[in-house]
């Protein structure tokens, strides 16, 4: 009788083993046993980790604080899948994978005309068309939101900067996302843009920015959880979900009359709604959706959809959110899970889990989606 190796373990049994490993470290070790285990573990989606201001990571919903080696003197400004987007004092902005410890160097923002910085009022949202773990030379697009100065979209083929395009004053982007191989930008006044690029030359170039959607039904409606008697504000996200491009609107209101700062410092999230981008020639409009087809959304500086299945603890038709604006000492302030079916918001952590104690730090909260 032939001797079987560990790599011959059926995928279904491997999933059962993964379900019995609550520790991230143990899941990483299992994945390192052999290539088949690593490939099968990738298909076992788990909730993402949340970066904390002090450079540690928080597991949801069990509250486990995880420490991994990360570069010193750098600030996390965002993420893309299992990679952290870091800003260094000298202007460097590498993508670092804390699990594999691999680094992808990106051009310094100052070299491509982008405002650099440790300035906390700027937001940085990197996106990629394909996983860096599988395509290390993948194109990287970066949306930089400048306070009161509009936005810029930078594209590069690491480690060479290839182009930078400044969005026009009438086209400030709230978010960007790759969908069907094309880069899309979510603008104001209900507009969705396609950012066309020329790949024929050695250096991809942004050739045009064109509007493909500018209206839709139900956009003036508000979720039932939003009070009509109070002023509301909103942030918007662009997320690919099961072959659909979704626009997610997050609504805020304040319980402090007179404190209506545009920075949302005194506001809390009160509700969400979701619209699908109609891409057909006869559509070209936003259509409201009432469920996520068994998926869950994680929105923030990096937004992503994940399947909600019994073993991963992710709840279907729910939107997980964090405080991706106005830095605060409490990393979990204004974070939670919004249920699209009930309109209820619940905390990210279980009631029995204590909020982690922090010791300073300037990292921005963001989701990181490891494969383990």
Host domain of residue 115: 45-368
Residue 51 near residue 335 (C-beta atoms within 8 A): no
In a domain, 134, yes or no: yes
Q: Using CA atoms, how far apart are residues 215 and 219, in angstroms rounded to an integer?
A: 8
Structural domain total, the chain: 1
Average pLDDT value for residue range 244-269? 81
CATH of the domain at 112: 2.120.10
230: how many CB neighbours lie within 10 A of its CB?
A: 13
Closest CA relative to residue 237, chosen from 147, 145, 165? 145
Q: Please check the confidence at residue 368 and state whether its pLDDT lies above 90.
A: yes
Residue 13 falls within a domain, yes or no?
Answer: no
What phi and psi, each to the nearest 5 degrees, are found at residue 241?
-145, 110
Lowest mean pLDDT among 20-29, 144-153, 161-170: 161-170
19 belongs to a structural domain:
no
How far from chain centre, in Å, is Cα 18? Answer: 25
CB-based contacts of 150: which residues, under 8 Å, 6+ apart? 166, 167, 169, 172
Task: Report whether 151 contacts 165 (CB < 8 A).
Answer: no
CA dihedral of residues 219, 225, 231, 237 (deg, nearest 10):
-50
Tell me, yes or no, whether 335 lies in a domain: yes
274: left (phi over 0), alpha (psi -120 to 50) or beta: beta
Task: Determine the Cα angle at 308 with ends 69 and 124, to 5°.
Answer: 45
269 in any annotated domain:
yes
Indicate whether 32 belongs to any domain.
Answer: no
pLDDT digit string, tens, across residues 301-335: 999 999 987 666 789 999 999 999 887 778 788 99
Domain membership flag for residue 268: yes
**pLDDT for res 291:** 94
Instruction: Give residue-wise pLDDT tens across range 188-210.
Output: 889 999 999 887 777 788 888 99
What is the rounded distance in angstroms from the CA atom of residue 111 to the CA atom of residue 113? 6
Band (295; pLDDT cuts 50, 70, 90):
very high
Q: Is residue 311 part of a domain?
A: yes
Distance between CA atoms of 185 and 196, rounded to whole angstroms?
11
């Amino acid at each position: 009788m032939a001797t079987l190796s560990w790599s011959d373990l059926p995928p279904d049994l491997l999933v059962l083993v993964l379900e019995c490993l609550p520790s991230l470290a143990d899941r990483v070790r299992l994945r390192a046993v052999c290539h088949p285990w690593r490939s099968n573990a990738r298909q076992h989606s788990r909730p993402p980790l949340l970066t904390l201001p002090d450079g540690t990571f928080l597991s949801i919903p069990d509250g486990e604080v995880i420490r991994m080696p990360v570069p010193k003197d750098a600030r996390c400004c965002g993420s893309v899948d299992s990679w952290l987007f870091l800003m260094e004092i000298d202007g460097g902005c590498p993508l670092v994978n804390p699990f594999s410890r691999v680094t992808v160097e990106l051009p310094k923002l100052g070299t491509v005309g982008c405002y650099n910085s440790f300035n906390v009022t700027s937001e940085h949202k990197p996106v990629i068309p394909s996983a860096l773990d599988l395509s290390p030379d993948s194109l990287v697009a970066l949306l930089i939101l400048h306070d009161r100065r509009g936005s810029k979209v930078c594209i590069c083929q690491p480690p060479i900067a290839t182009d930078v395009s400044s969005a026009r004053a009438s086209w400030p982007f709230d978010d960007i996302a790759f969908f069907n191989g094309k880069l899309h930008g979510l603008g104001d006044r209900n507009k969705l843009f396609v950012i066309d690029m020329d790949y024929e030359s050695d250096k991809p170039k942004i050739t045009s920015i064109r509007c493909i959607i500018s209206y839709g039904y139900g956009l003036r409606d508000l979720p039932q959880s939003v009070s009509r008697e109070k002023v509301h504000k909103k942030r918007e996200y662009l997320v690919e979900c099961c072959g659909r491009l979704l626009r997610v609107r997050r609504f805020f209101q304040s319980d402090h009359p007179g404190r209506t700062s545009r920075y949302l410092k005194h506001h809390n999230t009160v509700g969400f709604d979701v619209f699908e981008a109609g891409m057909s020639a006869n559509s070209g409009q936003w259509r409201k959706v009432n469920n996520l087809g068994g998926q869950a959304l994680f929105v923030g500086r990096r937004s992503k959809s994940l399947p909600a299945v019994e073993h991963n603890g992710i709840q279907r038709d729910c939107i997980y959110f964090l405080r991706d604006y106005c830095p605060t000492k409490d990393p979990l302030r204004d974070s939670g899970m919004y249920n699209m079916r009930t309109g209820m918001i619940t905390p990210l952590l279980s009631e029995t889990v204590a909020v982690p104690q922090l010791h300073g730090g300037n990292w921005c909260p963001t989701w990181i989606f490891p494969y383990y």
